[in-house]
Amino acid sequence: MARPPKIAVLLDSHYDGTETSALQNFFPVRGFEVEFIGYLRGASQAVFFNNNNPSETITVTKDIGDVDLLEYTGLIAVGGYAMDMIRYEQIIEEGSDGRPVELPKASEFAIAALGDPEITVGTICHSLWVFTPDPSALAGRKVTCGHNIIYDVLNAGATLAYDTTYRQLAGSWVDGNLVTGRHPFAVQEFMQTYYDELVKKG
């Protein structure tokens, strides 16, 4: 059975408002519902703010712990510093040497989605950060991203896709069920590439 035409957008504060607005304008008119989700840390809702305009906010009422991935055909992690913020854990279990023995809950969630071939996962700019706590998540993947996190991405075992014509990272790139975008300025290219991948899956 085909999954509902529904895209979960993973959000936290310091999100890039260019991207959230673009996603809300692009996908619904093409038949895909967009639902914002987040790590609410036990609250019933959270109000997240735009990195570029803190007076602009989005209220999220769906926690990642309540998300059934079978109800979605896609997951998009937005850029800005949101995917750094969403990894924050006040208390995380530590091993005998003091190092964490578990991943941030948001990273576990995103990595589980990436491991489901029926879900098209999308990232823009900085949002690959959500995968980097697990060294195996991006290993062997070819991606594009914001230029200032290229070393984080390389250290996570991925390789980078370049646009040799313009001598910069590619505007968008597809590797299996992962669609990556370089920057908010390339969000239109990213969304079209992502949409094309959704359509291929029917």
The pTM for the full model equals 0.96
For 65, other C-beta atoms within 10 Å of its C-beta total 12
92-104 pLDDT tens trace: 677 778 777 789 9
> How would you classify the pairing of strands 162-163 and 159-160?
unpaired
Alpha-carbon dihedral 22, 23, 25, 29, rounded to 10 degrees: 150
17-33 pLDDT tens trace: 999 999 999 999 999 99
| CA angle, residues 129, 133, 135, in degrees to nearest 5 | 105
CB contact at 8 A, 11 and 35: no
173-201 pLDDT tens trace: 999 999 999 999 999 999 999 999 999 98
**pLDDT at position 87 over 90:** yes
pLDDT score, position 202? 76
> Please, which pLDDT band fits residue 170 given cuts at 50, 70 and 90?
very high
pLDDT score, position 1? 53
115-167 pLDDT tens trace: 999 999 999 999 999 999 998 999 999 999 999 999 999 999 999 999 999 99
> Please, which pLDDT band fits residue 89 given cuts at 50, 70 and 90?
confident
